[in-house]
Amino acid sequence: MDAKTVRDVDVTGKRVFLRADLNVPLDDGKITDDSRIRASLPTIVHLLERGATVILASHLGRPKGKVNDGLRLKPVADRLSQLLGRPVRMTGDALGAGVQVAVDKLRPGDLLMLENLRFHAEEEANDPEFAKSLADFADLFVNDAFGAAHRAHASTEGITHHLPAVAGLLMEAEVDALSRLLERPAKPFHAVIGGAKVSGKLEVLEALLSRCQAVLVGGGMANTFLAARGAELGASLVEADQVENAERILGEARRKRVRFMLPTDAVVATQIHARARPRTVAIGEVPPDQMVVDIGPQTVAAYTEHLGRAKTVFWNGPMGVFEIKQFADGTNAIARALAERADAGASVVVGGGDSVAAVEGLGLATRMTHVSTGGGASLEFLEGKTLPGVAALLGMDAEIASEKTA
């Protein structure tokens, strides 16, 4: 990474405003995946061990500028306490007199977590006064929140106008890993793209067609491409308004001689439910009352065989409704195949969201070359867009960067 990092500055005795991405999934107040918290640990530990005073900040969910008790960061602070082996104190707000008192009491080696930044509408609005108030807590800004780097918010971009800013260790690792995919991937370079909809991934597909030798598609978004080829898909999710775009992508793949692989068989069910009775059918033979919920075994075999030749792989998005066990075979098979490729020396980057949950759930994350904490951020990075949070660290014009990511 071209920007300075925490390794390039002396943080001893300094107050550091550390922006992390601790936006973890919660179920009834309990964390279901703590990978983002664990990914933040190297930077936190680096700062504390060198005598910095750390003011840790993050958002959680989408409270839309209002206090939401279900989105308080206490579960995150509790889990971080367990991982660090020390108490993590929290404030009741991100700003205010009480917060300032708590900050003033901090000593070198102390850690204080602020309450959810997005309880303030000024955070997402990138309000200059709000950014200045956050900056007043500290001497140095460290941005380790790659997952929020594609947003020009007060705590990711605005604050850099008031404090010297450097990248955290996770930010550095994310940018370096994704940059290698753009600049110098070992070939063949294959992309595995899944998830529910084509509409959110058109731009990354277009970008990948200029770099990849093969694109393997699964999940609900594959249905729209299959529909563009004339397949009947029963009650499956198909984005009718994206069929024309799907046809365009398929045509572009042909022109660029990129192998664009789609499922040849599928697991189908009448409903997305744990008690559903799935069965496997060939594509084009989906009954009218059933829907595609996973790629089928024939497709799994074809995809894994093809991936066996790849030297670089980027994976984003599940192959089916993997949250339900009987619909998870395709996603799990791809995860295992990619772990084997990484073991064999291939560069395998897993890009955020459900793909990360899949490899974490199978205990395969440590075998991958890199597991990104940024879903949307990783996709926008690979689209070639400038991320405001990264641009701010590089000293670029954040207003221009924000326009590029709009």
pLDDT, tens digit (0-9, with 9 covering 90-100), for 116-136: 999 999 999 999 999 999 999
pLDDT, tens digit (0-9, with 9 covering 90-100), for 156-208: 999 999 999 999 999 999 999 999 999 989 999 999 999 989 988 999 999 99
Which residues participate in catalysis according to the annotation?
Answer: 36, 197, 353, 376
Confidence of residue 33 (pLDDT cuts 50, 70, 90): confident
Helix (H, G, I), strand (E, B) or coil at 57: strand
Domains and CATH numbers, the chain: 6-171 (3.40.50.1260), 178-382 (3.40.50.1260)
* Structure tokens belonging to residue 288: 């009218």
**143 backbone dihedrals φ, ψ, rounded to 5°:** -100, 115
E strands, 6-52, where?
15-19, 26-27, 30-31
* Residue 265 bridge partners (DSSP): 282
Give which of 169, 312, 188 is closest to 259, Cα–Cα.
188
pLDDT at 352 over 80: no
Q: What is the pTM of this model?
A: 0.90
Confidence of residue 400 (pLDDT cuts 50, 70, 90): very low
Residue 348 DSSP code: E
